[in-house]
Amino acid sequence: MKKPGEVFEDSRVYDPGIEAIVPRYDELHDAILNAPPQQRDDEIHVLELGAGTGELTAKLLTRFPESTVLAVDHSERMLAEAKRKLETFGDRVQIEQRTFPDDHPDGHEEFDLVISSLAVHHLSSDEKQTLFGAIHEALVPGGWFVNGDVIRFDADHLETLSDAMIKNWVRSKGWEEEEFMNQWQASDDYDDPDTLTDQLVWLRDAEFDSVASLWQYYNFAVYGGRKPE
Ligand SMILES: C[S@@+](CC[C@H](N)C(=O)[O-])C[C@H]1O[C@@H](n2cnc3c(N)ncnc32)[C@H](O)[C@@H]1O
């Protein structure tokens, strides 16, 4: 039985697999890391929600060499991959098995930056709003939250267009989508994306300012906001 967001039965195939079904995966990660105002040599403390196999975590730790990261995820098997990958970063990274928003974040004003990639869309609308409030509490004044994620369109034809774009992407990697999903034992029955507009409004409701969307490719977007000073 898979947990929401694990995507593949076998987490060891996640890294090559996710690049084949998420268009512009690396570009999405780059946009997340380009968004915050911090400089490369700043000593920042970062929370990553839904770190999975640690792909974005490794990129963050490399791009910000003075950073420390708390990487949380509810999946033991995804975190086992992350532990292997992130070992080289030593005590700059702490990995914890937690479920958000139920038992995390629970810190108060301790993180300069909270990031997430392809994880928050597994939560219901209510849970997303609860999470945005908890993230706001966990950030230091002036800290940023940046999320790169799946979004939903209200217009049916844009949903259809996004589905077609993903099928074309998988085909460009040499697979028919159904064949890929079967052979790689992939699926995500727990997707619950919301519109970008709703999520930007919920960030404002949670008292973030400078709320903005920085990058979008069909039904994938990078957006976030700042906790006021
Ligand atoms: C599609 S993966 C994304 C992993 C990684 N961030 C990336 O960019 O490749 C989604 C991750 O979020 C985790 N996840 C989903 N919902 C979660 C929740 N409520 N609490 C903790 N982790 C969650 C899953 O276990 C999975 O590792």
Going by alpha carbons, the residue nearest to atom 4 of ligand 1 is 52
Q: In angstroms, rounded to a whole number, what is the distance separating the alpha carbons of residues 165 and 178?
A: 15
| Model confidence pLDDT, tens digit, residues 46-87 | 999 999 999 999 999 999 999 999 999 999 999 999 999 999
| Residue 111 counted as domain residue | yes
* Furthest CA-CA distance within the chain: 50
Q: Evaluate whether 115 touches 100 at the Cβ level (below 8 Å).
A: no
Going by alpha carbons, the residue nearest to atom 3 of ligand 1 is 118
Q: In angstroms, rounded to a whole number, what is the distance separating the alpha carbons of residues 24 and 143?
A: 27
Domain with residue 205: its CATH number is 3.40.50.150
| Residue 181 counted as domain residue | yes
Q: Is 118 left (phi over 0), alpha (psi -120 to 50) or beta?
A: left
Separation of CA 118 and ligand 1 centre (Å): 7
| Residue 2 counted as domain residue | no
Separation of CA 12 and ligand 1 centre (Å): 15
| Residue 107 counted as domain residue | yes
| Residue 154 counted as domain residue | yes
Going by alpha carbons, the residue nearest to atom 13 of ligand 1 is 50
Beta-carbon count within 10 A of 55 CB: 21
What is the domain extent for residue 31? 11-226
Domain count, the chain: 1
- pLDDT of 188 reads 79
| Residue 66 counted as domain residue | yes
Mean pLDDT by 10 residues, the chain (229 residues): 89 93 97 97 98 98 98 97 98 97 87 98 97 97 98 98 96 92 86 97 98 98 98
Separation of CA 125 and ligand 1 centre (Å): 17
Tell me the two tokens of residue 34.
């380009």
| Residue 4 counted as domain residue | no
Beta-carbon count within 10 A of 174 CB: 9
Going by alpha carbons, the residue nearest to atom 2 of ligand 1 is 5
Which residues form ligand 1's pocket by a CB distance below 6 Å?
Answer: 3-7, 18, 50-52, 55-56, 73-75, 78, 99-100, 117-119, 122
| Residue 1 counted as domain residue | no
